[in-house]
Structure 1
Amino acid sequence: MKKRLRYFLQEYFGFTQRESNGFFLVIPVLVVLALVPKGFHWYQHREARAQYQEYLVKADSMFQAVKEDSVARYARVNRSFLAKDTGRWEAYQRKQATLNKMDFAAADSVVLQVVPGIGPTLAARIVKFRESLGGLHRKEQLLDVYGIKVPVAKRVFEYFTFTPAVDRYLYLNTAGIKDLAAHPYIRYGEAKVIVAYRGQHGAYARVEDLLRIKILSEDWLDRVKPYLKLEEAPVDQ
């Protein structure tokens, strides 16, 4: 092999015997010089990797120690804090913010809007109905307000107390047609009949006398009766 290579160098490159021998001496030196940096780099990399692994082990150990110390310190502080303030914090948690409840009869259209589902229009309609009626004597009467739904009507009395309160009455023996017809439970035709019957038969002796008017039913009377009172018939001079 060496002879063939020497022949190749002499034949194609014109090397002499001496130059060929020198070439074979130089080649190993060049190979060694080329491998030395790579070997040095590999050695350095191995040392650095070993140091890095050692650093990771130490860092992990330090981190675990700090973590355990922090957890223990937090537990001590937390126990001390709760021991001092538990009563106050639990009392705050139990305490619920509440609104002052007022009577439904005193609520105006602004205050009524605190109830979910009641806006300005419906609130004004409720107040107008209550005033025209002369007050509510039963909670369920709120359903007679146009546009109100059962869940909203029930919700009203979660925010307001209710006391039966009729503060204005119709006097059967003196009220005119317009006065009677202004009441939400009495239509104009019914008002005319009530006044006409009174004109024909004289003053009513009791509220139940209205049932002598055949078009008026007991259900109708039960509905309107809380708002009716009698007055003595006027004395002729």
Structure 2
Amino acid sequence: MILKSHFKFSNSQRNGIFLLAILIVVFQCIYVFVDFSSEETQEDYVVLEKFRQQVDSLKRVKAEIEKPKVYPFNPNYITDFRGYTLGMSVDEIDRLLEFRAKNQWINSAKQFQEVTKISDSLLAVLEPSFSFPAWISNTKPSIDNSKNTDPNAFKLKSFEQKIDLNTATAQDLQKVNGIGPKLSENIIKYRNKFKGGFISEIQLQDIYGLSPEVIERIKNDFAVKTPRIIEKINLNTATREQLVTIQHIDYEIAHYIIEQRTLRDSFKSFDELLRVKNFPIQKFEIIKLYLTLN
């Protein structure tokens, strides 16, 4: 009796249930057979797709801008740090430095590979950036004697032939191709910031306006023969206050250096500084001038 009462409906209830069933069937058919996509929805999708493409394009542009650029350079002057950034191994860099220590010069990309024994793939990457002096590129350089009477114009000078960068005058500096009154003034102004002048030619990198090519020309005519005397700081015992006295090291970098030193239980080589957070890698060679690992 109780079960039967649940299925006992009045006429109006039965009509309502029947109408509800019809509506359900109608709405299901509409959902299945009617296309609800509108032109507006499609237009929104097109706009969204264009926006996505623009974002991807901007990301590619940013990646290209941030991509490290290798400017033309003379491979004879590759330092430990420069070789490291170019992808050379320690052994390859050492072979080059040993070759140069004998006062011998690399005159071609092929000779560079023979000396360093770098792979063909790395040579293919580096060779387009090699820049050798004109006297190497031209075995018989034509010298206009009316403009240049210096017989050594196309020869690399020895250390004895070079002028001391710490005593050079503005007139001396302006003899270098690419150095005018403004740049010579910048060099002397930078030199005078320090009592005793330059420690090394590498500090020329800090002078505003000097391109790598001009720096190489300066180094061919000038050398630091009377370097400024400094007391080097022991990297493995230096305090934060000592480290911040070094060019290009602030309190934040000094903190990270000490933190890395503690984790490593002291530094074994200067190259380990390159792994310090926020370390100014471009100034690595200058910072090394002030440090010792004793």
Pick the TM interval, shorter chain. Answer: 0.3 to 0.5
From the two aligned structures, give the one with the greater helix fraction. 1
> TM-score with structure 2 length normalisation?
0.31
> TM-score with structure 1 length normalisation?
0.37
Give 1 or 2 for the bigger CA radius of gyration.
1
